[in-house]
Structure 1
Amino acid sequence: MRIQRVSIIGLGALGIMYGHHLSKKLPKENVRIIADEQRIQKYKNEGVFCNGEKCEFRYVTPDEQVEPADLLIFTVKFHGLEEAIRFAKHHVGENTIIISALNGIISEEMIGQAYGFDKVLYCVAQGMDAVKVGNKLTYDHKGILVFGDKEPGIISEKTKGLREFFDSVQLPHQVDTNMTHRLWGKFMLNVGVNQTVAVYKGNYGTVQNEGEARNTMIAAMKEVIAISEKAGVPLSEQDLQYWLDVLSTLSPDGKPSMAQDVDAKRPSEVELFSGTVLKLGEKYGIDTPVNKMLYEKIKEMEAEYVH
């Protein structure tokens, strides 16, 4: 199956970046951004910009009848996922491949339950350092999309088809035959980086350099390693080092999404990170004091601006 039509839902940092990239490589009408009327009006009035360039997107409402997408990409925040799944229904056909670039370890499960696990490839977006302020996105590193099948050790026709498509549109990517392990590794990084930078009100540079913030981040990540062993997806010190190496490639001035949410006084994905760690820690009888501290601090910050 050749991928020709792509639909994206969620115009955050990743949605803008991939939408902008793909709309330059494919006919404009073949890249569709799904959004409600109100959002579409806002995007049209204010414009959406990627590294200073105005994005020329084709917008479609959830009710619009369209040809199903060959590839559907979810790039919403976790708290918008249930709505996004409903909004995307006209874009899912028999042969649609679905990937989710969301943080955390459960979005694929939710999408699979709605549309069938046969359509879902597991995916991780890593190594990008985009910062979105208002309707403007800037980045130095596009990072890569790592994807593959849920079952370890196989490369399905869908995975091969997506790899061919990303090759043809020159989108940086990598196929991984152990995606559950990769998802947990990215989850570990997010638990450390996102929360620590938000609490210390810093940027990637804050945790790239030795000091209290970096020590806090690594301690939070090590709590995930302890949980991962009980959860049957064991992470190691080697995995910790791999993700610290990924972190070291990012622009020191960049910020992870949670720090950007706190700056903009938006609700954060704290439940997805330390919220999940605390629940799993309780389930497996593992102490998670660092994540408990980060959770409480972020909740305090949110309480000051979220009503």
Structure 2
Amino acid sequence: MNKVTIIGLGALGILFGHHLSKKMPETHLRIVADKERIEKYQAEGVYCNEEQCHFHYMTPEDPCEPADLLIFAVKYDGLEEAIQSVQNHVGEDTVILSLLNGITSEAVIGEAYGIDKVLYCVAQGMDAVKKGNQLTYKHMGMLVFGDREPGMVSEKVKRTSAFFERTELPHEIDTDMHKRQWGKFMLNVGVNQTVAVYQSNYGEIQREGEARETMIAAMREVIVLSEKEGAHLTEKDLSYWLGVLDTLSPEGKPSMAQDVEAKRYSEVELFSGTVLKLGEKYGVPTPVNKMLYEQIKRIESQY
């Protein structure tokens, strides 16, 4: 792998883009954005831990060789547009990773470009906070990825892992990505929504109290649904993800809390919205997620 394309300069796009930009020739890492965004990035700069990022920008129309690795780092509501924007970057051997929250983006990308190109991926353990053009973090976290089919490690996975080894990007291969994605979904459902509703930070849910109890109750509703969906999460998985949470900077905030603070509409439909639909589908009560959904919708209605 030599040529990498990233679309989306939110927290994860900047975090991993900045890291890769220091490990690769500048023109081998392409950041795709529309002309207006590129002009803004170039005028204001993009910063990661107070260091200016040096990115090679391309518009969707710019001709180029296909990427060896294509990374989607947009919000879910920007996914369809992003899929259209990277057409010039997808070739026969392109490997695609999605860093999006939720459990559906791989299928959406696969419909457009072929599911055989897509590796399933979870970004975990980072405590990045983005304000304007400034990203700060203490823990970079890692990318966990693997094949769609459990129990196998394909050549695509090996090739991607070798590239991350070479560029010193923290990563892990998982041979049960269905369960891993559900675990990360469970964490997002609990952490993102609770911190947003309590309008606090990771510290609030790392210590005992009402917020932490609410978070864990929301996560347990996901455990019940995971059984119905064949992911089979357990209390052991809950403990694992709470351990991941404990590594984060107490002052950090998840993306949904940052959205609420900035009066942006959040990804609530991806989290409790999905939980409520699955609860209805399987006849499973989800009162905690219903409460969180209603609270976030109430906050957003006041923008």
TM-score range, shorter chain: over 0.9
Structure 2 distance, partners of 1:44, 1:225, is 45
Residue 161 (structure 1) shift: 0.2
Matched with 1:179 is 177
What secondary structure sits across from 2:20 in the alignment? helix
Residue 267 (structure 1) shift: 1.0
Aligned to 2:159, which of 158, 161, 170?
A: 161
Residue 232 (structure 1) shift: 1.4
Give CA deviations for 1:121-175 in whole Å, capped at 9, x if unaligned: 0000000000000000000000010000000000000000000000000000000
Matched with 1:33 is 31
Aligned to 2:277, which of 273, 279, 282?
A: 279
Structure 1 distance, partners of 2:175, 2:228, is 22
Residue 218 (structure 1) shift: 0.2
Q: Which runs of 4+ in 1 moved over 2 A?
A: none
Matches within 5 A, 1:147-158: 147-158=145-156
Matched with 1:69 is 67
Matched with 2:299 is 301
Matched with 2:3 is 5
Aligned to 1:136, which of 134, 144, 149?
A: 134
Matched with 1:96 is 94
What secondary structure sits across from 1:147 in the alignment? strand
Matches within 5 A, 1:1-307: 3-305=1-303
Structure 2 distance, partners of 1:61, 1:267, is 26
Structure 2 distance, partners of 1:254, 1:200, is 14
Structure 1 distance, partners of 2:231, 2:165, is 30
Residue 234 (structure 1) shift: 1.0
**1:260 corresponds to which letter in structure 2?**
Q
Structure 2 distance, partners of 1:304, 1:71, is 41
Structure 2 distance, partners of 1:101, 1:292, is 26
Q: What is the number of equivalent residue pairs in this alignment?
A: 303
What RMSD in Å do the two structures reach over aligned CA positions?
Answer: 0.5
Identity of aligned residues (%): 69
Structure 2 distance, partners of 1:4, 1:165, is 8
Residue 265 (structure 1) shift: 0.8
Query: Structure 1: 5+ residue runs without aligned partners?
Result: none
What secondary structure sits across from 1:25 in the alignment? coil
Give CA deviations for 1:58-92 in whole Å, capped at 9, x if unaligned: 11001111110000000001111111111111100
Residue 107 (structure 1) shift: 0.3
**1:93 corresponds to which letter in structure 2?**
G
Give CA deviations for 1:267-303 in whole Å, capped at 9, x if unaligned: 1000000000000000000000000000001011111
**1:21 corresponds to which letter in structure 2?**
H
What secondary structure sits across from 1:152 in the alignment? coil
Residue 120 (structure 1) shift: 0.3
The TM-score normalised by the length of structure 2 is 0.99
What secondary structure sits across from 1:56 in the alignment? coil
Structure 2 distance, partners of 1:157, 1:136, is 37
Residue 260 (structure 1) shift: 0.4
**1:169 corresponds to which letter in structure 2?**
T
Structure 1 distance, partners of 2:231, 2:81, is 30
What secondary structure sits across from 2:143 in the alignment? strand
Structure 2 distance, partners of 1:42, 1:288, is 43
Structure 1 distance, partners of 2:265, 2:29, is 29
